[in-house]
Amino acid sequence: MDHPYNQILLFGDSITQFSFDPELVGFGASLANAYQRKVDVVNRGFSGYNTEWGLPILRQLLPTVEKQKQTPAKILLATIFLGANDSALPFALQHVPLDKFKENLNTMISMFKSPESPSYNPDVRLVLITPPPLNEVQWKKRCDDQGGPLNRTWEYSRDYAQAVRDVAQERGVILADLWTKLMDVGMDNLHEYLLDGLHLNANGNKLTYELLIQTIQHHFPDIHPDNLEMELPGFRDLPRENFEESLQFPLLKQ
């Protein structure tokens, strides 16, 4: 099928994967709703994955420079939302050391932004999202229920969130600081935004959606949903006769 819509790529772990869950009012689903008939929001979240496992996946997802020339549909914006699993404690399978985590994020950014990259895309808007703070009370209960030790801490989530901030600043990439946004509600209130101490509940997803929309409005207003036209006209605007030309997708006419 020819692709008549540009895309927003959501790349990350389970928090991104679950962002299309209607019961959780997923932030990805909310974005897809806001951009309906304008831009396709593509969920590429992989539950349990860290940046080490994410690297070979992202290499496969991004179109090469040659493929970008062959299709008019583009990735307008991409989010990288990783670190919740990398920040697991060192004994855990998912743990990635802090320096390696930063290196992996830099490599991902270079896939988009480096002229030497096979998938170089200088026009894409890139957003790094900090992992959420861990609510240890909730997460310990989950670990206890599963019969395992506490494998994450608030302090580790703090350090990995700071690493995302550092990489964003060093590389000149836009940051959506979810960690700080959630900490602003107070440690004692984190349970109101986190399902199990790590993953977002409905309130957390609504907050994340609002953060991303505000980030787009502030940094990339040209692709805010309010500033984009629908790819095809509303049915009331169609001519009564000879309407075929009006029903041609603009991207497919290029």
- Percent of residues in the chain assigned helix, strand, coil, to nearest 5: 50, 10, 40
Total residues belonging to the chain: 254
14 labelled catalytic: yes
Determine the pLDDT at residue 4.
86
- Beta pairing partners, 218: none
CA gap 158, 179 in Å, rounded: 8
* Side-chain-facing half-sphere of 75: CA atoms under 13 Å: 24
Q: How many CB atoms lie within 10 A of CB 163?
A: 20
Task: Give the active site residue among 86, 95, 119, 199.
Answer: 199
Task: Give the active site residue among 3, 196, 219, 224.
Answer: 196
Determine the pLDDT at residue 177.
98
Determine the pLDDT at residue 254.
65
95 labelled catalytic: no
239 neighbors 247 (Cβ within 8 angstroms): no
Task: Give the active site residue among 14, 110, 114, 117.
Answer: 14
3 labelled catalytic: no
Task: Give the containing element (helix H, strand E) for 234.
Answer: none
Of 59, 45, 169, nearest in space to 104 by CA: 59
The domain 6-253 is placed in CATH, from the list 3.20.20.70, 2.30.30.40, 3.30.300.130, 3.40.50.1110, at: 3.40.50.1110
CA gap 155, 214 in Å, rounded: 27
Determine the pLDDT at residue 3.
78
Burial class (CB in 10 A: 0-12, 13-18, 19+), 87: buried
Determine the pLDDT at residue 28.
98
CA gap 225, 248 in Å, rounded: 21
- Joined tokens for residue 47: 């539950």
Written as tens digits, the pLDDT of the chain (254 aa) is 567 899 999 999 999 999 999 999 999 999 999 999 999 999 999 999 999 999 999 999 999 999 999 989 999 999 999 999 999 999 999 999 999 999 999 999 999 999 999 999 999 999 999 999 999 999 999 999 999 999 999 999 999 999 999 999 999 999 999 999 999 999 999 999 999 999 999 999 999 999 999 999 999 999 999 999 998 999 999 999 899 999 999 888 86
